[in-house]
Amino acid sequence: MDASAVARQARGAFDDAQQTLSTRGTVAADFARVQALEYIRAALEAARSEIQAANARDVDEARAGQLSKQLVARLDLFSKPGKWDSMIQGVSDVARLPSPLDVCTRATRLADTAPATATRPAAGALDLYRMTCPIGVLLCIFEARPEVIVNIASLAIKSGNAAILKGGKESKHTAQILARCISDALERSELPRCLVQTVQTRDEIQTLLHEEQYIDLVIPRGSNALVRSIQREARMPVMGHADGLCSIYVHEDAPESLVIPTVLDAKLDYPSACNAVETLLVHRSHLASGLWERLAMALVQSGVRLHADAEARAALPAHAAVVPAVDADFDTEFLDLDVAVRTVGGVDEAVEHINAHGSGHTDVILCAPLPEQPGTSHAAAEAFTRSLSSSSVFVNASSRFADGFRYGFGTEVGISTGRTHARGPVGLEGLVIYKYVLRAAGDGPQTAGAFAPGAEQRAWAHRPLMQTFPGL
């Protein structure tokens, strides 16, 4: 099947699902989607051995092709403890989330009931509601990580969207079986089998990026180069998911007991993840206090290479794992056991560095401990969080918390670093838009002309109502 036919099928499946579930009511429609997700989880669990064999084949071919160890790590579904289980659990987590559809986010009484006059018949109240609804057909393009197929399929189904998925060729064997499991599960459900589809080649993507009559949004998930190329080619909106150039700033009052474990976790927990720390900004006072040396040695002993500026190196004993930083290091997403280090004089310098070199993903300040109960502010933390526009800004926590599951979203389609309505880990709420529903009561006509200036004009109320849609 050619790519244009895939796009038409996806649009048709979306329209069919919308129409089929439109008469069920919100609860019944969500139940149908939840049931489809339960079928998907069951199909994946039943095919685990087959999926594992296919994944091993992909990993072996990736190693034989001398792909980077970072890419191999992302490709491997089974070696990292809990990765497979997390993917499976993510399906159930999404299923259990409240439906993001048909939610009233704003309600306004535009005009009150108006009695009849000599020139105008009676008119009932006029109410405006803003209601959530699906985006439509999503085209999702990603690299290496086969679990993304399951993540995005789950979110698309729960949010009422259709999805066309394209993974990297390095995961083709795994992707084929995962896609088959999803399609077979959808066929058992009340939803169309073609609601989630996969494509395999770059040529197909080139075609799909021009099918704006069928596809509503493109979500690229991968390298900055991939995202930029998609943005150049696409004729429909693109939700950008770019590099993870995450920074941690160690403020002058940050205690060692907090700093060292947090930084180690941010770098070592999963070095190839987009939320792993890539840059350390160390307050100059820590060079003299000894905290920097102890932090640096903890990193080095864990296998991390430090690309450090002259000040930071001068405060350390000579070591093969401590090398001079070059300008490019501060713009590099290492995705490995490397970190760039710069000495700064305070919050302002840290913010300036992040604004100049960061990608808007996740940035962290480590400072004096905050109280359990909010009430007092930390001036530096306040300045840091207010000054940065990154999609996630943390105080005294590892950058590894920037994740859809950890945010309670169930899973995510990716981390959006763009400046649109959906930022950070994009879960269900990022996959819905809204429409306005105008509800006019009574049997009298509702005309805009009745509000025109005149002796018997109808008055605007523009009064907030409870955010509950009363039905039609």
pLDDT at 242 over 70: no
Tens digits of residue pLDDT in 87-116: 999 999 999 999 999 999 999 999 999 998
Q: What is the model's pLDDT at position 17?
A: 96
Classified as helix, coil or strand, 164 is strand
Show the CA angle centred on residue 117, arms to residues 112 and 121, nearest 5°: 70
Instruction: Give Cα separations from 214 to 11, 12, 167, 341 (angstroms).
Output: 6, 9, 20, 47
Residue 223 has pLDDT above 80, yes or no: no
Average pLDDT on 460-472 reads 91
> What pTM was computed for the model?
0.86
The residue count of the chain comes to 472
The residue with greater pLDDT, 321 or 455, is 321
Convert the pLDDT of each residue in 14-49 to its tens digit. Answer: 999 999 998 888 999 999 999 999 999 999 999 999
pLDDT band for position 455 (cuts 50, 70, 90): low
Dist. CA 139–CA 152, nearest whole Å: 10
Sheet of 277-283: strand order equals 322-324, 305-308, 338-344, 277-283, 246-250, 362-366, 392-395
Per-residue confidence (pLDDT) for residue 471, from 0 to 100: 81
pLDDT, position 307? 98
Please tell me the predicted confidence (pLDDT) of residue 472.
76
pLDDT value, residue 227: 84
Name the average pLDDT for the chain: 93
Q: Please tell me which residue, 422 or 211, carries the higher pLDDT value.
A: 211
> Which residue carries 């039943």 as its tokens?
46
Query: Are 214 and 194 contacting, i.e. CB atoms less than 8 angstroms apart?
Result: no
Task: Report pLDDT for 342.
Answer: 98
Reported in sequence order, the residue ranges of 285-383 that DSSP labels E, i.e. its strands, are: 305-308, 322-324, 338-344, 362-366
pLDDT of 66 higher than 90: no
Interval 56-68 mean pLDDT = 90
Q: Which residue has the tokens 């840290």?
A: 350
Residue 196 pairs with which residues in a beta bridge?
163
pLDDT per residue over 168-183, tens digit each? Answer: 889 999 999 999 999 9
CA pair distance 89, 130, nearest whole angstrom: 33
Q: What tens digit of pLDDT does each residue of 253-292 get?
A: 999 999 999 999 999 998 988 899 999 999 999 999 999 9
Helices (H), 280-338: 285-289, 291-301, 310-314
First-residue to last-residue Cα distance in the chain: 42
Structure tokens at 372: 């359990």
pLDDT band at 453 (very low <50, low <70, confident <90, very high): confident
Sheet holding 196-198, edge to edge: 196-198, 162-166, 137-142, 217-221
C-alpha dist (Å) from residue 207 to 153, 203, 289: 21, 6, 59
Going 352 to 354 to 359 to 360, the CA torsion angle's sign is: negative
Q: What is the mean pLDDT of residues 117-129?
A: 90
pLDDT in tens, 374-427: 777 899 999 999 999 999 999 999 999 999 889 988 788 888 887 777 889 998
The pLDDT assigned to 241 comes to: 67
Q: All domains of the chain, ordered by start, with CATH?
A: 3-101+133-239+426-431 (3.40.605.10), 246-411 (3.40.309.10)
If we measure between CA atoms, which residue out of 283, 308, 264, 245 comes closest to residue 367?
283
pLDDT reported for residue 240 = 75
